[in-house]
Amino acid sequence: EAGVAQSPRYKIIEKRQSVAFWCNPISGHATLYWYQQILGQGPKLLIQFQNNGVVDDSQLPKDRFSAERLKGVDSTLKIQPAKLEDSAVYLCASSLGAGQIDYGYTFGSGTRLTVV
Amino acid sequence: AQSVSQHNHHVILSEAASLELGCNYSYGGTVNLFWYVQYPGQHLQLLLKYFSGDPLVKGIKGFEAEFIKSKFSFNLRKPSVQWSDTAEYFCAVKTNAGKSTFGDGTTLTVKP
């Protein structure tokens, strides 16, 4: 089974620039998550999709972050404009469903973003 | 809102020593509990999970965790660690509303 694919692996941008990350979940996984992991901290949920609908985006800084999941498969996360504090690893994960009976997430390798 | 606390930020052990990593959560309802591991240079992987039933859960590579509901705890254990267990370990809690929260992780260093 192919894993969760993310690109790019690394990105360095200047503050106020924009950046986009891409994620392709495991085939058949209805739920897709974007997490932000700042160095020394655990992953923090940014947005959760169920198919192509948003389930939870309560912690997404909507003034600068946006995400979409067209056709319920691939997803992109965008930051515009970036701030220094956005430097982090952005993780994409997928799972079969969002119900209580779940089997944990499968994570991608992440995109390490450095904002200078 | 729920929270997850991992008490040990960095643990250093010698090979063959026993391991116990603490995890406490704050949420009064039904939860699913997970431990994830991130080996150096690799992505997060599921180590073990608890949904219901036997509170002692066995995972991969000889790890186990015990859910103690009265203490809101889900501590990870291994009787004898190996150098290859050097990694970062994350506890995660998922509520019946589908919201998951991760702890800040514990870095385990095993000295050969």
Distance in angstroms (rounded) separating the CA atoms of residues B58 and A15: 46
Residue B95 tokens read as 């509520």
Looking at CA atoms only, how far is residue A19 from chain B in angstroms? Answer: 22
Given this model, what pLDDT does residue A72 score? 82
Tens digit of each residue's pLDDT (9 = 90 or more) over A89-99 = 999 999 886 55
How much of chain B exceeds pLDDT 70, in percent? 98
Chain A residues with CB-CB distance to B34 below 8 A: 104
Q: Is A95 on the interface with B (CB under 8 A)?
A: no
Distance in angstroms (rounded) separating the CA atoms of residues A111 and A13: 13
Given this model, what pLDDT does residue A100 score? 44
Omega prior to A81 cis, within 30 of 0: yes
Looking at CA atoms only, how far is residue B97 from chain A in angstroms? Answer: 8
Residues of chain B short of pLDDT 50, as ranges, are none
Q: Which amino acid belongs to residue A69?
A: R
Given this model, what pLDDT does residue A99 score? 52
Mean pLDDT of all residues in A4-30: 96
Query: Under an 8 A CB cutoff, do A100 and B30 touch?
Result: yes
Residue B56 β-bridge partners: B66
Contacts for A65-71: CB closer than 8 Å, 24+ residues apart:
A67/A34, A69/A32
Query: Residue holding tokens 């979409």?
Result: A68
Given this model, what pLDDT does residue A101 score? 52
Query: Residue holding tokens 């948003």?
Result: A54
Tens digit of each residue's pLDDT (9 = 90 or more) over A100-114 = 455 678 899 999 999
* pLDDT for residue A38 is more than 50: yes
Given this model, what pLDDT does residue A103 score? 66
* pLDDT for residue A18 is more than 60: yes
Chain B residues with CB-CB distance to A44 below 8 A: 102
Residues A19/A89/A85/A22 CA torsion (nearest 10 deg): 20
User: What does chain A come to in residues?
Assistant: 116
Using CA coordinates, name the residue in chain A closest to B104: A42
How much of chain B exceeds pLDDT 90, in percent? 77
Distance in angstroms (rounded) separating the CA atoms of residues B49 and B67: 10
| pLDDT, mean over chain A | 91
Query: Under an 8 A CB cutoff, do A99 and B90 touch?
Result: no
